[in-house]
Amino acid sequence: EAKHRGRNKYVIFNTDVKEKISKEYTIKTMLQKAIENEEFELFYQPKLDRNKRVVGCEALIRWIKDGKVVPPGEFIPVAEKSGLIYEIGKWVIEESAKRVQEWESDEILKEISLAFNVSVVQMRREGFLNDVRNIISKIKPNVSNLEIEITESVFIENKQRALHLLELLKRMGFKINLDDFGTGYSSISVLKEFKIDILKIDKSFVDEVLSKEGRVYVKTIIDMSKNLNLLTVAEGVEYQEQFEVLKELGVDYFQGYLFAKPLKKEEFEEFVKKLNTSKF
Ligand code: C2E
Ligand code: MG
Ligand code: MG
Ligand code: MG
């Protein structure tokens, strides 16, 4: 009996692991093809100021697979595990640089900043900075319109190296956004030491801001940011009431479905022109 059950258990466990590995393997093979066939696309989510003018955007990657849009949560982790993130990540930076360079010849779009996400795995790689340099010298965008979004996990492994890397990126003109703030391990000293420019308040705080306790958390983050001279962005703003309270608490910029979902390039450009040429 026991032996029988034991064996069954073992078989089930084994199958799960096999399935997981083969699913990852399948995604990896498909991702490899996706790189070759250029199946990736950047979407752009508007970032607005307190007057609802568009000041920038966040570039978010999508995989267009057989006409269907695959969100990054479904393939970035596999890309990180398999090392394919280097190629994909380089493509993201290059595409972002091209966009900013393109927008420079447009009276309205040239004011728009673009933030792109980089993975910790990608940054850890020896050649990362060189790749960035090569892309910038090839495309020649106005780097001060480019923002790099990193997460707090960048600081965990090798603090000295991360410090050095960010310093060099800043010297090249990039602004540094700290993404998903509040979900990781950041201390105030990290914020100061690493010369972050913009702090992105994680959606989980925005979700709670209408409650008394949630409001206190956000207020604490904003007060700290102001003292450290950091700009703040609220992520995932979905309701007008949240927008009102966040404004009252002093948040500088806003992103969320209340204003717009991540948009295709042309849709985003239209959105900017509509909002930024209208009267208040
Ligand atoms: P993130 O950088 O924190 O991006 C914010 C995510 O929240 C995006 O999901 C965005 O579509 C979503 N979002 C924005 N506003 C709202 C809202 O009002 N409500 C809700 N429910 N969601 C909202 P997305 O595009 O699926 O990206 C998920 C994560 O994947 C990103 O989180 C980022 O960590 C990663 N990612 C996206 N693009 C890239 C990329 O090009 N490279 C790397 N390495 N990671 C990326
Ligand atoms: Mg981000
Ligand atoms: Mg975020
Ligand atoms: Mg996030």
**What is the distance, to the nearest Å, from the Cα of residue 211 to the centroid of all Cα atoms in its chain?**
27
Residues whose beta carbon lies within 6 Å of some atom of ligand 1: 45, 60-61, 71-73, 76, 89, 92, 117-119, 149, 179-180, 235-238, 255-257, 262
pTM value is 0.93
The dihedrals phi and psi of 279, each to the nearest 5 degrees, come to -75, 155
Residues 6+ apart with CB under 8 A from 57: 44, 45, 46, 47, 112, 113, 114, 115, 268
For residue 58, give the 3-state DSSP assignment: strand
Nearest CA to ligand 1 atom 6: 236
Question: 105: CA distance to ligand 4 center in Å?
Answer: 31
Question: 12: CA distance to ligand 4 center in Å?
Answer: 34
Tens place of pLDDT for every residue, the chain, 280 residues? 444 554 555 555 567 777 888 888 888 899 999 999 999 999 999 999 999 999 999 999 999 999 999 999 999 999 999 999 999 999 999 999 999 999 999 999 999 999 999 999 999 999 999 999 999 999 999 999 999 999 988 877 788 889 999 999 999 999 999 999 988 777 777 788 888 999 999 999 999 999 999 999 999 999 999 999 999 999 999 999 999 999 999 999 999 999 999 999 999 999 999 999 976 5
Query: How many CB atoms lie under 10 A from the CB of residue 83?
Result: 12
SS3 for 73-101 is HHCHHHHHHHCCHHHHHHHHHHHHHHHHH
